[in-house]
Amino acid sequence: MARTLQELQKQYHTESTPGKAPRGGPGNRGPRLTGKPKNTKQTVSRLLGYVGVYKWRLVAVFACMLITTVTSLIASYMLAPIINKLTLATIPNAQINPSALEKLADRAITAVLGTDNADAWVYVLAALAILLGIYLLGVGSAYLQAKLMMTVSQGSIAKLRSDLFSKLQTLPVRFFDRNTTGEVMSRFTNDIDNIDIMLNNALTSTVSGLISLIGTFIFMLTTNWILTLVTLFFIPLFALGGGAIAKASSKYYSGQQSALGAVNGYIEEYVTGQKVVKVFNHEETCVEEFDSLNDDLRDKQFKAQFFGGIMGPIMGNTSQISYGITIGIGGILMCTAGFTPGGLTVFAGYSKQFSMPINQISQQMSTVFAALAGAERVFAVMDSQPEQSEEEREAIIEKPMIGDVKLENVTFGYNPDKIVLQDISLYAHPGQKIAFVGSTGAGKTTVTNLITRFYDIQEGTITIDGVDIRTMPRSYLRSNIAMVLQDTHLFSGTVMENIRYGRLDATDEEVVEAAKLASAHSFIMRLENGYQTVLTGDGANLSQGQRQLLNIARAAISKAPILILDEATSSVDTRTERHIERGMARLMKNRTTFVIAHRLSTVRNANAIMVLEQGRIIERGDHDELLAMKGRYYDLYTGAIELD
């Protein structure tokens, strides 16, 4: 049965609620990184911090904007003396009283000609030549502005993307438990792309529009103050209309981004789990659930794009009304107040040009709001509590770790209100093998998660070689622990590179030795290019057993004194299991090893076996001792009960 839209929304883009404890451990998602911008001022300030690195380029961009705007305004004003000259040439008795700026433009043209009595057409040709020069200067400054701003925006985005990726490396496992891969990926794609669009287009358009607006207003005022007042009368209409549309657009763009993150998260989850979907014939259910999320995204995109799209037509038609009324009043002033034909023509252009920056700025608001919403989500990730807390003290490491592990009275819960481990105490001397058995959810994997400090305990202590692991740098701790998990993960690259991932400074010879130790060398040599065979798609061209052998080789090359094996053979066949067990036997030699296994035959030779149930150790001892107790382990081993 397909889940409802509300259930899907709750699972894929739930907003965090202040005051509530985060939910769940592994596999139980907590608050999502979604929501509309809540602190625009702070978000803008942080974005400016990235852009401000290029302050001198920004100064140059600003100068280019000024040149582009001024040349455009001056070029427009050059039309006034041209039209006045043509009017006098065609209507000899016309009465024209040019303004001060018109006289200034006329003097510039006559200065180029070198005479005040030039023929009208020669005058026009000279004016057009001056116009061409002005426009070429404007085009050059616009080109330089675009090129400089491109370097600023791309440099800023590259730094932001790098900082976000670097931040992910410092975040605890708990963060990735609570946020899907699709959600995290949407920060790198949708959100950062929106910021890029804003910096590259919206920012320059907005600033350029403001400069143009101020410059146009000044030229309008000097041309005719009465018509300027008429034009200004319509500004409140622009502001009210644009503000109302921008407010609605902001809300719907935030909803669109949230819904897009949900769709991406769903796609990522179900593409990854396609085999599970197909084997249980859930294709139709998946389509129904996806259609529900997709329809929700469509509705929100429609509203966001609709309000973004109507901004231009509404503001454009409003400006046309303003333009028509201004021209009408200008015509009256020509007949009654001696307003020149050139002045009216220029003012008409300015009147139309005056509304353009307002429309331009209004149209960019939806892009700006979408980018700010995305930036806030990016910064939310970057503000997440890192794994390495400031209070953590660095232990003084005087000698190499030998692997003497001790847990004393450890209590832990992924949530404070739900305890997973209760008063756990155990020890493992260097070179010993400790096994954990018990039902699913008993806390076996949690113990190993605590030893690696994927999570920190609430009560008790965990020490290695007598040092509390909470005082150790995590990098040092984990460099001394190797893990082989049930879920294998191989990176895109060669077989040799994947094995070397366990210790990046390992030589080729050491990689081969590690593969031999893990019983992987023989199958690697049968591959098409041996150790140089390129693996893609998480090693899709290898069997599950082969992938696991590569994982064991990766652990072997690390030379870590502590080894954790978590269900390493649970998903392979019996023949492959024997290969893996031989590899693990060599791997465990002289290492402190913690083994989690459902197959009890794999833990018979452990120095100590811990039987866990409901977060407590209910039995402990070696294989023979536990059988003699005839308790839970005895029942599991003899098949009287089964592990669930």
Q: Give the mean pLDDT of 289-312.
A: 80
Among 86-95, 368-377, 515-524, name the one with the lowest average pLDDT.
86-95
Q: Give the mean pLDDT of 266-272.
A: 77
**CA torsion angle 623 625 627 633 (round to 10):** -70
Residue 395 reports pLDDT greater than 60:
no
Check residues 600 and 478 and name the one with the higher pLDDT.
478
186 and 260 in contact (C-beta within 8 Å)? yes
**Has residue 252 been placed in a domain?**
yes
Q: Give the mean pLDDT of 478-482.
A: 88
Residue 425 reports pLDDT greater than 90:
yes
Could you tell me if 410 and 376 lie in one domain?
no
pLDDT, residue 11, reads 58
| Total domains, the chain | 2
Could you tell me if 370 and 482 lie in one domain?
no
218 and 69 in contact (C-beta within 8 Å)? no
| Helix ranges, 189-282 (H) | 192-197, 203-223, 225-233, 235-272, 274-279
**Has residue 29 been placed in a domain?**
no
**Has residue 398 been placed in a domain?**
no
**Has residue 504 been placed in a domain?**
yes
Q: Give the mean pLDDT of 143-163.
A: 90
Could you tell me if 359 and 460 lie in one domain?
no
**Has residue 291 been placed in a domain?**
yes
The residue segments making up the domain with residue 457 are: 405-638
Residue 296 reports pLDDT greater than 70:
yes
Could you tell me if 366 and 459 lie in one domain?
no
Residue 33 reports pLDDT greater than 50:
no
Q: Give the mean pLDDT of 507-528.
A: 89
Per the DSSP assignment, residues forming a β-bridge with 464 are 405, 467
Among 66-75, 531-540, 570-579, name the one with the lowest average pLDDT.
570-579
> How confident is the prediction for the chain on average, in pLDDT?
79
Residue 426: φ, ψ to 5°? -165, 165
Could you tell me if 365 and 434 lie in one domain?
no
Check residues 154 and 92 and name the one with the higher pLDDT.
154
Share of the chain above pLDDT 90, in %: 13
Could you tell me if 377 and 484 lie in one domain?
no
Note the pTM of the prediction, 2 decimals: 0.65
pLDDT, residue 428, reads 92
Q: Give the mean pLDDT of 588-612.
A: 84
Q: Which domain-ending residue is among 349, 382, 415?
A: 382
Check residues 524 and 278 and name the one with the higher pLDDT.
524
**Structure confidence by residue, pLDDT tens digits, 94-145:** 666 666 666 777 777 787 777 777 677 787 888 888 888 888 998 999 899 8
**Has residue 30 been placed in a domain?**
no
Could you tell me if 217 and 112 lie in one domain?
yes
pLDDT, residue 99, reads 65
* SS3 state at 21: coil
Domain CATH code at residue 267: 1.20.1560.10
Domain CATH code at residue 556: 3.40.50.300
Under the banding of pLDDT at 50, 70 and 90, the label for residue 25 is: very low
pLDDT, residue 239, reads 65
Strands 405-412 and 459-464: antiparallel
**Has residue 134 been placed in a domain?**
yes
**Has residue 7 been placed in a domain?**
no
- Torsion 228-229-234-235 (CA) sign: positive
Residue 444 reports pLDDT greater than 60:
yes
500 and 514 in contact (C-beta within 8 Å)? no
Among 261-265, 388-392, 635-639, name the one with the lowest average pLDDT.
388-392
Check residues 385 and 391 and name the one with the higher pLDDT.
385
Residue 231 reports pLDDT greater than 90:
no
Could you tell me if 376 and 425 lie in one domain?
no
Could you tell me if 360 and 437 lie in one domain?
no
pLDDT, residue 140, reads 92
Q: What are the distances in angstroms from CA 210 to CA 69, 75, 137, 371?
A: 10, 19, 20, 20
Check residues 10 and 630 and name the one with the higher pLDDT.
630
Cβ-in-10-Å burial (0-12, 13-18, 19+) of 215 comes to buried
Q: Which domain-ending residue is among 348, 382, 416?
A: 382
Angle at CA of residue 346, ends 345 and 349, nearest 5°: 90
Cβ-in-10-Å burial (0-12, 13-18, 19+) of 92 comes to exposed
- Residue 221: alpha-carbon gap to chain centroid: 47
Could you tell me if 315 and 437 lie in one domain?
no
Under the banding of pLDDT at 50, 70 and 90, the label for residue 351 is: confident
Could you tell me if 434 and 571 lie in one domain?
yes
Could you tell me if 316 and 448 lie in one domain?
no
pLDDT, residue 24, reads 33
27 and 177 in contact (C-beta within 8 Å)? yes
Q: Give the mean pLDDT of 79-87.
A: 75
**Structure confidence by residue, pLDDT tens digits, 548-563:** 888 888 888 888 899 8
* SS3 state at 619: strand
